[in-house]
Each structure stands twice: as C-alpha cells, then as structure tokens.
Amino acid sequence: MKPKIHPQYFPDAIVTCSSCRNTFTTGSTKQSISVEVCHKCHPFFTGEHRYLDIKGRVDTFQKKQEIAKKFQATISTKKRKITQKEDREPKSLKELLSEI
C-alpha cells in the first residue's frame, strides 16, 4: 500500500442534529457532522409524528425560484433585442429574391 493516502480518522467526531439539537459522538473522517434528522427525532425510531423545522429549506427553494424568474425575464429581453436586431439588418439579395 502507498503511505499517507488514507484520510485522517477522528474517533471522537461530534454529530449534531439540526432539528432537535441532539449531539453524540462517533468515529468519522470529519471532526464535526451536521445532520437534519437523528435517531432521537426521526419518526421511525420514536414512533410518533413530529413536525421538523424545515424553514431553511423552504426559504432557499423560494429564493431559487425568485432568481430563476429574474433570469427568465432577462433572457426574454435579450431574445427580444436579438430578434429586433435581426429585423433591422438589411436583407441579402438571395433573401429578397426568395420572397418574390
């Protein structure tokens, strides 16, 4: 085996749950890990239904939609400008003869 190709292993990596703020330690190649749902708040393990805080995901999705709408508006204005520019260009002899 080649030396020094393996990642550094942290036996006391801290895992934090973003929905219930639970923390526990495990071994990993990262020092700290953030998860959205852990074994303390997941409905499969708890047997009860809980509403999770998904505000961050919804906000980011809505921001992406707003950015996409703005981008589509700029694209449509650019397309209009291009078509107007093409209409203003003089036609070649070949195009004029094909219209007749």
Q: What is the pLDDT along the chain (100 residues), one digit of tens a residue?
A: 688 888 999 999 999 998 888 999 999 999 999 998 888 887 766 667 666 566 677 788 899 999 999 999 888 888 888 777 766 777 788 888 888 8
Q: Biggest alpha carbon distance in the chain?
A: 82
In a domain, 33, yes or no: yes
In a domain, 63, yes or no: yes
What's the predicted TM-score (pTM) here?
0.44
Residue 26's φ and ψ, nearest 5 degrees, are -155, 175
Residues 49 and 17 in one domain: yes
- Contact call for residues 28 and 13 (beta carbons, < 8 A): yes
Residues 32 and 65 in one domain: no
In a domain, 40, yes or no: yes
Residues 59 and 85 in one domain: yes
Total residue count of the chain as it appears in this document: 100
Judged by DSSP in three states, 70 sits in helix
Q: What is the CATH number of the domain that holds 35?
A: 4.10.80.400
Residues 26 and 38 in one domain: yes
Range of the domain at 65: 54-100
Residues 78 and 92 in one domain: yes
Residues 34 and 68 in one domain: no
Residues 86 and 70 in one domain: yes
Report the pLDDT value the prediction gives residue 78, as an integer from 0 to 100.
Answer: 83
As for how many domains the chain has, the answer is 2
